[in-house]
Structure 1
């Protein structure tokens, strides 16, 4: 994964006041209105948390243990909230749509490719944290 391209492309679209992640949620709720009830928090608070998570993942891209532990834990929490595997694809689609929209002409196909790869990897690590079918202990 190209950490340099992830960082540089994020700097192109990371708007003040969590603008990228706020726009992401707007697109997500426009395209997938059925997920909106899953969000009990104020969207601005949620957007701030998501922005922090994205930055943390990029900062720790070279630390497989950190990624596995933290994204697995986050995945378990998402499982408890009822997030299903197909929802991860919707999230990636909407995040890249927001990035592309904000980036405009500066957004490149290579940026889309590296973010698709990164978001797919994040989803995989989060899904690895989901409890096994029939597991009622809460452990992954």
Structure 2
């Protein structure tokens, strides 16, 4: 990610924070619309999951300037997600749902530059998670 992309993600996310509950609802509605089988991966309350999602996105967005400190937590998240049954194809679905949610939540402020910045951010984090999950399954012989 470029410094400009980091800044775009951070400033656009600041505009999402006031509508974070709505954004989480939009995200999960879209995610389950895109792939209804994903609903079975969530055992608890989707409202609570939405709160966790928005908190994790905030941590990631705020940590973009300190990636070396952020990446171990992202790797751990990837390993946990693999344990829940998340597969590589699910990351693409999540990317689509996230970008759609941001577009709906930000409206005209969701420019092509902002979309590209979020795609780069998500790609970096998702690739880190997938790599950690892959290393875990290789180590366990899966």
CA apart distance, 1:106: 2.3
CA contact (8 A) 2:20 2:54 kept: no
**Closer/same/farther in 2, CA of residues 19 and 78 from structure 1, 3 Å limit:** same
Normalising to structure 2: TM-score of the pair? 0.88
- Quick check: which one's helix share is greater? 2
Instruction: Give 1:125's aligned residue.
Output: 128
Provide closer, same or farther for how the CA distance between residues 51 and 89 of structure 1 changes in structure 2, counting only shifts above 3 A.
same
Segment drifting more, 111-120 vs 4-13? 4-13
Deviations 1:18-43 (A, max 9, x none): 22122101100111101101111111
Separation in structure 2 between the aligned mates of residue 76 and residue 134 of structure 1, nearest angstrom:
12
TM-score, with normalisation over the residues of structure 1? 0.89
SS at 1:40 equivalent: coil
CA root-mean-square deviation: 1.8
1:96 aligns with 2:99: yes
Q: Report the Cα offset of residue 137 of structure 1.
A: 8.1
The gaps in structure 2 that reach 5 residues or longer are none
- The residue aligned with 1:62 is 65
Deviation at 1:104, TM superposition (A): 1.7
* Alignment correspondent of 1:109: 112
State the distance in 2 between where 1:64 and 1:105 align.
29
Higher relative contact order structure (alpha carbons within 8 Å, sequence separation ≥ 6): 2
